[in-house]
Amino acid sequence: MTVAEHAAAGFRNEPILELRRAAARDSLLTALRELDERLPLSVPVLIGGDRGAAEGIDSTDPGAPHRLVARAGRAGEEDAAAAVEAAGRGFRDWGARPAAERAEVLRAAAARLRERRLILAALQVRECAKPWPEADADVCEAIDFLEYYGREAIELDRGRTLVQAPGERNTMRYAARGVAAVISPWNFPLAIPCGMTAAALAAGNAVVLKPAEQSPGSAGALVDALHEGGVPHDALALLPGYGDAGAALVRDPRVHVIAFTGSSAVGLEIVRAAAETPAGQSHVKRVVSEMGGKNCVIVDSDADLDEAVPDIVHSAFIYAGQKCSAAARVLVHEAAADTLVERLAGAVSVLNVGQADSFPTEVPPVIEREAQERVLRYRAQASDHVAASAEPVPQEGWFVPPSLVVGLPEDSPVNREEIFGPLVSMTRVRDVDEAMDVVDSLPFALTGGLFSRSPATVERVAARTPVGNLYVNRGITGAMVGRQPFGGNRRSGSGSKAGGPDYLLQFVEPRVVTENTMRQGIPVE
Ligand SMILES: NC(=O)c1ccc[n+]([C@@H]2O[C@H](COP(=O)([O-])OP(=O)(O)OC[C@H]3O[C@@H](n4cnc5c(N)ncnc54)[C@H](O)[C@@H]3O)[C@@H](O)[C@H]2O)c1
């Protein structure tokens, strides 16, 4: 679709709340108080409308680990098998519905999320320690996915135009694949499970959703909205659980598509397991695997540092560096290096570290104890290179001091591995070409940034970079549905871009019909 066609189809990004207005902030705090009175939420295993157990997983507040946010079921292999069985039944009805009808259901689900947006944002604050602006944006993104993929499915349903020859009619249409297993991470607890689920459903598949064990409450709220919007219970099951439930779905021969977003280690394991074609499985599974990154921002000698410094700090530390798109490395031209270190160090040392429910907070705690230990381990490896750190941090909660480290050897694990926390590493380079060599040497290729005033440099970097999303003279997080289709290359992803025009193609199979029309008449196309 062209921009004009999108507009005509009525898609526009859901507007975020204006948090500078006291009324908007008050409405969120009221929602938080209401939510707190309802905690802990109960999130059962949900298969074909049957509500199973809601115990086995406790999801707690990363900022106050004694606070129980949700008590969820712990799905096992048998639940996974039952959910796939139900989804097989659900697919027959859901997949047979016209694309426009499915889109209408997704829009109704979007309306439910819109009505509840304040409480859903509050839930992310509590369950994942997501600060208010990020929590609000996450809810908006979830709404966008439902609205966008519904419209894209209608477009896709029209099929493609093929070359026609006399006496022959050629058509190309897209059919849903069948049962989709959706396996999601916690860091966008509503938007990411929503995006993958909405895409699969919009294209006519039935879905079994296995959300992250850290965020079952948000996933439960998503599934409720989709069911209330009209997705039949058989066409959408919820399996709160750990990795074993996800692995059982991946192995199930009745699953056709696996949509995964998470770490590279798990994604690669899924790709390997899904390649098996046991006896009785007559299809090859399609895997959409969106994985980790080691995102670099290049700062050239002519960069506008007034622009670069706040954008780098925001990209690296907002949500404690736990966005897959977050900046992990800064590669700075040696001519600008001293000034940039000084200015970044100043900005890092005054970062506001605090609880997610406090509006001024920039750096909240990380998601869990294991994450805190992991980030601190990496920080200890770089302890001789710390140029700035915002300390002390609160005692209660999984806090890590946000830090800037400078001048580590290139082969340090801090420079090469995904840390997923508030730790950014800066390296001096001779020039932009050396910076691009560093980017090229990494196994990841998710997002990247460039600060330069030279159009020729921008063009050169854009042509050479392997990353899926390059941001020039701006922050490198915050991709918007329809505006910045999002996803990585290399070990960062094997799928097409989420929130973009190719995404649904992964959930369908193309079918071409060629008809001899010689005897029956002349094709009119
Ligand atoms: N590329 C992207 O678009 C994108 C977006 C968000 C997050 N991420 C990545 O996600 C990671 C953070 O999320 P996480 O900690 O939840 O990731 P994770 O890989 O630990 O878990 C993701 C999901 O996989 C499940 N899982 C774990 N082991 C499994 C197995 N063997 N088989 C099947 N499923 C299994 C988990 O239970 C969870 O639901 C980071 O690496 C981040 O970069 C990538």
Q: Over the stretch 120-136, which tens digit does the pLDDT of each residue have?
A: 999 999 999 999 999 99
Structure tokens at 409: 């050897």
Q: Phi first, then psi: what are they for 72, rounded to 5°? A: -125, 160
pLDDT band at 518 (very low <50, low <70, confident <90, very high): confident
For residue 194, give every residue at least 6 positions away whose Cβ sits within 8 Å of its Cβ, in sequence order, or none. 113, 141, 142, 145, 146, 222
Q: Are 263 and 463 in contact (CB under 8 A)?
A: no
CB 251 within 8 A of CB 174: no
Residues near 47 by beta carbon (within 8 Å), at least 6 away in sequence: 79, 82, 83, 86, 237, 239
> What pLDDT, on a 0 to 100 scale, did the predictor assign at position 1?
55
What pLDDT does residue 520 have?
A: 67
Tokens for 458? 């921008």
What is the residue with the minimal CA distance to atom 16 of ligand 1? Answer: 185
Contacts of 7 (CB under 8 A, 6+ apart): none
pLDDT digits (tens, 9 = 90+) for 230-274: 999 999 999 999 999 999 999 999 999 999 999 999 999 999 999
Q: Catalytic annotation on 128?
A: no
Percentage of the chain modeled with pLDDT above 70: 97
Q: What is the CA radius of gyration of the chain?
A: 24
User: What letters, b where the CB count within 10 A reaches 16 and e where it falls short, cover 163-177?
Assistant: eeeeeebbeeebebb
The minimum-distance atom of ligand 1 relative to the CA of 420 is 40
Amino acid at site 255: V
The pLDDT, as a whole number, for residue 174 is 97
For residue 262, give the ligand 1 atom closest to its CA. Answer: 10
- Among candidate residues 127, 290, 368, 418, the one labeled active-site is 290
**CB within 6 Å of ligand 1 — which residues?**
183-188, 192, 210, 212-213, 242-243, 246-247, 250, 261-263, 266, 269-270, 290-293, 324, 418, 420, 446, 487-488, 492-493
* Nearest CA owner, ligand 1 atom 26: 243
Separation CA 363–CA 421 (nearest Å): 10
Residue nearest to atom 3 of ligand 1 (CA): 290
Ligand 1 atom with minimal separation from the 211 CA = 39
Catalytic residue among 85, 152, 324, 368: 324
Q: In the annotation, is 290 catalytic?
A: yes
Closest ligand 1 atom to residue 213 Cα is: 37
